[in-house]
Every structure is written in C-alpha cells, then in structure tokens.
Structure 1
Amino acid sequence: MTDRRRRATVKDVAREAGVSRGTVSRVLNGQPYVSAEARSAIEAAIAKVGFIPNRAARSLVMQSSQAVGLIVHEPHSLFVEDPNIASILLGANAALSEADYQLSCLIADTPRDVERLARYLSGGLIDGVIVVSARVGDRITAAVAELGLPAAFVGHPRDIGSAGYVAIDNRGAARAITGRLLQTGRRRVGMIAAALDRDSGADRLAGFVDAMGSKLDPQLIQSVPFYSFSHGKAGMQELLERAPDLDGVFASSDAVAAGAMEALREAGRSVPGDVGIVGFDDSSWALRCDPPLSTVHQPADQLGRAAAESVLAQLRGEPISSPVLLECPVVWRESA
C-alpha cells in the first residue's frame, strides 16, 4: 500500500513563516492588519510547504462560497447544440477565474429542474447568479429576487425589475438583416420565429415585422419552440407547404437557418437561387452552412464576460450598473 503524502496545514505555514496561525488565517481570508513583511513570508511559506487552502472551511468563515452560478433555462439537448451558450459560459468563466471565483453551471430543462434550482439558490452554495434564457414569469427569476442574490441576466426579460442585465438590440438587428434581405429583390419573405416566450425571440419577430411593413404576410410567419436545427427544419417544411412560392426567409438563429436550408435542399430548392435565407448569431453554424450564412453577429463571449463582471461588482458592494448593450452588426455572406 502506497503512503499518501500528508496535506500541509495552516500550522505548517505558520511554523515556516515564523508567525502565528491567526496571522496566516487573516492572510488566507483577505483580512487587513497584516504587515507587508509578514504577508510576504506567509506567501513564500505557502509555496514552500505546498499548502492548499480548504475553501469549504474558508466559506464558513467568510460566509462566501466563492462560486457564481450560471443558470441556463434550456433543454439539455440545446445546451449541447447551441454554440452561443458555450461562448457565454466561456466568457463568464474567464472573468470569474480572473477574480478567483468558481463557475457553477446549472441547467433548467424540466419544471422539476426549475423548482429544484429555486430551492438550491437558497442554500448559500453560490454567491450570485448569471441567468441565460429566462422567460417572463420564470420561477428562477422570482427566487433570485426573493433571495436578493447578486444577479445579471443575459437578455432582458421584462419582469426582472432593477436587476442587472447585458444584451444586444435584437429588434434593431432583426430589422436590419430583414431589410438587407428585401434589398436583394425578394418578394415573398417569411420568418421562422423561434423562442417567442423569451425577449430575444419576441424582439427578433418584432424587428422582422418592422422591416416588412406593408409587405408583411402573417401566413409567412412560422413559430417554433426552440433555437434548434430540428425545429428550423420542421418550420421550413411547414412554410413550404403553405407558401411554395416563398423566395426569402429570416430564420431567428443560425441553427434554425441550418435546419431550414436542409429542408429546402430536400424540397429541391437552391440557396440562394430559389430562396435567400438569413440567420442570427454568427455562430459556428453559420460557416458550416453551404453556402455560408448571412447573419447577425452576436458577441456571446462578451455577453458572458459582461454578465460575470456585473455580478462581481455587486459582490464587491457596488450598485447595479446601467444595462450593458453590445454591438451586433450584420455579417453578409452567400446565402442571400
């Protein structure tokens, strides 16, 4: 049986540094009233003896977990499929890591998940939350408000009160890319409108309606539940059945657009020859499409970073900052 090396303790650090255990504890817990010389000696001793702080014990003392939750209110399958979620996660993790905080990823798929997470938030296991894809009337949003947790939302559900949020102008961007599609001479333009139960989906539909103006035909709007390839394909099939003369489509995400393009290929329609199609996100889906997809660039990693920075500022006792709105330009490629 191999002997396990004994884990270094605060006592070992204190002996090596020539200070009391109380002084070591003050340094570990970020407390003042420690001289620069003592602090330097303790840091050198920690490195020499290989001391690893026990964060669980530190959390009890500091009443802080040093963790921030990222709550994604989406189906498990979409969490894996949607590259925007991954980019938000990585952007948030980078900012939290720089501040020595741990990211805890929490997925709310079913109503049971939502209720379980609402209870979890009250357990003191995380110091704040970043919420992605919240709906109006979301139980998680209500739990965050009830507990007074430092929070930042990615997007802007209309019922989050004065909570911090980071977002893009979904409506303005949807209006811009639909207008660009119309400029190519398309006359029968429809939309596959996803996720209408959250602000991003509803705002993208509103932008499409703005751009279409008097040319709008409500029969050419097909709603689908999620920003997914499979729902994009099904939505496109529905549109083609109702309007076989369709010659332009705004898909409310790149994944939806990719699914729509697959349905068009199966129906014998060429892109952009027969049907011009545009998406939204400028994710990896856009470049995997053939031809490459015209879309709106959504800076998902920056959204995640800005949300994390908002939560960290609140944890430092700073007031909730003004909403962060990031640029989302049109990126024009061959699909339209």
Structure 2
Amino acid sequence: MTPRERSSRATVHDVAAAAGVSRGTVSRVLNGGYVSPDSRAAIEAAISSVGYVPNTAARNLVRRRTQAVAFLAHEPHSLFLEDPNIGNVMLGANEALSLADYQMVCLVIDSARDTARVSRYLAGGFVDGAIIVSARANDPITEVITRLGLPAAFVGHPPDLRDVPYVGIDNVSSARGITERLMATGRRRIGMIAAAVDRDSGIDRLEGFRQALGDRFDHRLVAEVPLYEFAAGISGMDELLRREPEIDGVFAASDAVAAGALEALKAAGRVVPTDVGVVGFDDSSWARRVRPALSTVHQPAAGLGRRAGEVVLAQLRGESVEHGGILLETPIVWRDSA
C-alpha cells in the first residue's frame, strides 16, 4: 500500500478483502461475536496491515451506548483535592473501566446547582452508568439514578439506597476494633473526633466507637466536625481539650482528621503517644506522612473503586447483580501514635 493510499481511512471492506473473509465476519469480530480462531487471526492481522481504526462513535450510536461511566463525588471541591481516599477510589474505578474500554467522566457535586446540573446530565443519556461516592441520606442524585434505572454502584451505603448495589466496608466493626485496641493500651479518658455524621460512614464509625466503650462512653468526649479534613481535626481536638484536659486517647474518624489532631496536641504541648494516644481510619498517605506514624484502619480505597467499576460493567453486560452489599476487609495497622 502506498503512502497516498494509507492516507485515506481504511474501511471494514478493506479489512475483509485483506483477510479473505466476508464483511459480516469482520463485523462479528469487531462486535465481540464468535468466529473461528483462524478467521479471527486473519482479521486481526488484516486490521493491522491496512491501518483500520473502528469508528467508535458510529458503533455506539447504533448500540445506543456512550461507552462512558460517570464517577460522582459528592464532596466540596477542596476536600476532593485533599482527601487521598477519593483519589484512590477514583483510580481503582478507572482501572476497571479502562480494561473494558470505557471512559470515566468525573463529576464533583459541591452545591445544589451542581446537583441540578448533574441530574440533567445523567437524564440526558450522556453516560451508560455511574459510580457514586459520599452520597448522603435523601440525596437527590440517588433519587435520579433510581428513577432512571441507570446501571450504578455506590461506594458506601446511604440508608435510603433501596435496590442499587453498593461496595463498602463494615465501618461499625472496624471503628469498634481500633477503639478496643486503643483501650487495650491502658487509656482511661478516650474521646472521638466524629466527622461526617450526615452520611453512613460517619454515623457508623461513631456507633463503633460507642459500642467499644460501652458503659464508659461519655457523649461530652465526642466532638462532631463536618468533614474528613485536616482543619476539622485541629478544631475537633481543640474542643476535646477544652472539655477534658485529662484526655489520654483519641479516635479520629479519618487519617486527615487524626493528622489535624496531632497538630493541635503538639501546639498544646501534649506528647503523642506518651500523653495522648491517637488512632485514625483509612491508612491513607496521611497515616505515613505524620510523625509519629499513625495507627489506623486500612480502608482498601482503590479496591472499593475497582469493585464498584466491575459491578457497573456487569450490569452493562446484562448480567444479574446482587443488590446487597459487597464488603471488603479492613485490617488494623498498628504504628507509633498509640
């Protein structure tokens, strides 16, 4: 083939002629159908030799598919950049989708205006499915996805999720386990910086803390903060120190919050872990970045995203999907902070 001939776009007819098969046989290969191994090998060689590139847009139009899946993060823009968990969930989801030749479209929801815009986008058929992170109870996005019957998977489990599948962790037992481990170090006045109690993860981590302490639970030693962020850890720890100067143990609802707590304790002249033991949740980069290194619960963020992507892809293939939750393991990682 001459350079001039190569400059024009190769067609299915060109592939069929080069492979010595019919156009229908080539179409079956391109659309994932069955052909004999010899025919498939000949067609793949012909595709390479003639430089054929499938017209994905045309194929998707016929199949009524966009070959795109939305990744919806219901978080403030600042937290989306600060929280490594969201990034790792996103990367895990993208890995699964990329292997199936799907494009991931990232949408951050930070306001009522964002919610309305994204709702219109989903209803407009611009994506084939959705992965949702950090949804709250009575979230309008959950309502839209349920109404559309859009193939979807949630990371986490809002209480009004109904029939949409989800991937998550057992936040209650994980929080109970890390708190019990902190208690076993001999701490007597243990408090919690409870973040994001407007969603399932925050509520469940507070419940796990409460269960671990049992009769020793003191509601005054719970400082509620709005977000899983460093600044919230500082303000929450300052509040606990005001309420109970003799506090000697703290469970922070995330590693970012725990990092802020460490900063506040240092400013107050308290030594960790000699004076106060601190534990977190996530095993994110925050846990290894701070000093002393943070004892925490390992949350498999990338694994959560990967499994969520796989659940959406299974629905797009027409496979039946269990509407219950898929729960991943969360081992405790014990370091120097407690």
Q: Which amino acid aligns with 2:328?
A: L
Output aligned runs, 1:57-206, within 5 Å.
Answer: 57-206=58-207
Q: Percent identity?
A: 64
For structure 2, list consecutive stretches of 5 or more residues without a partner in the other structure.
none
Cα deviation 1:90-141 (Å, max 9, x = unaligned):
2222222222222222211222111111111112221111111111111111
Superposition deviation, residue 30 in structure 1: 3.0
Indicate the residue corresponding to 1:30 in structure 2: 32
Measure, in 2, the Cα distance between the counterparts of 1:5 and 1:171: 61
Residue 75 to residue 7, structure 1, CA distance change in 2 (3 Å): farther
Superposition deviation, residue 50 in structure 1: 2.1
Q: Which SS does the other structure have where 1:239 is aligned? A: helix
Superposition deviation, residue 10 in structure 1: 3.4
The number of residues matched between the two structures is 333
What TM-score, normalized by structure 1, do the two folds share? 0.93
Measure, in 2, the Cα distance between the counterparts of 1:44 and 1:212: 66
Indicate the residue corresponding to 1:293 in structure 2: 294
For structure 1, list consecutive stretches of 5 or more residues without a partner in the other structure.
none
Deviates more, 1:215-224 or 1:11-20: 11-20
Deviates more, 1:119-128 or 1:288-297: 119-128
Indicate the residue corresponding to 1:17 in structure 2: 19
Deviates more, 1:68-77 or 1:274-283: 68-77
Q: Verify the 8 A CA contact 1:163 1:320 in the aligned structure 2.
A: no
Measure, in 1, the Cα distance between the counterparts of 2:283 and 2:201: 15
Indicate the residue corresponding to 1:261 in structure 2: 262
Superposition deviation, residue 296 in structure 1: 0.5
Cα deviation 1:190-247 (Å, max 9, x = unaligned):
1111111110000000111111112112111111111111111121122222222211
Superposition deviation, residue 261 in structure 1: 0.5
Superposition deviation, residue 146 in structure 1: 0.5
Measure, in 2, the Cα distance between the counterparts of 1:91 and 1:127: 18
Q: Which SS does the other structure have where 2:250 is aligned? A: strand
Q: Which amino acid aligns with 1:10?
A: V
Superposition deviation, residue 283 in structure 1: 0.9
Indicate the residue corresponding to 1:335 in structure 2: 337
Indicate the residue corresponding to 1:320 in structure 2: 321
Q: Which SS does the other structure have where 1:145 is aligned? A: helix
Cα deviation 1:46-79 (Å, max 9, x = unaligned):
1112222222211101111222221111111211
Indicate the residue corresponding to 2:216 in structure 1: 215
Q: Which amino acid aligns with 1:295?
A: T
Output aligned runs, 1:227-306, within 5 Å.
Answer: 227-306=228-307
What TM-score, normalized by structure 2, do the two folds share? 0.93
Superposition deviation, residue 19 in structure 1: 4.6
Superposition deviation, residue 85 in structure 1: 1.3
Measure, in 1, the Cα distance between the counterparts of 2:190 and 2:37: 68
Superposition deviation, residue 14 in structure 1: 3.7
Q: Which SS does the other structure have where 1:146 is aligned? A: helix
Q: CA RMSD in A?
A: 1.9
Q: Which amino acid aligns with 2:46?
A: A
Measure, in 2, the Cα distance between the counterparts of 1:143 and 1:149: 9
Deviates more, 1:154-163 or 1:199-208: 154-163
Measure, in 2, the Cα distance between the counterparts of 1:267 and 1:8: 71
Superposition deviation, residue 150 in structure 1: 1.0
Measure, in 1, the Cα distance between the counterparts of 2:176 and 2:290: 22
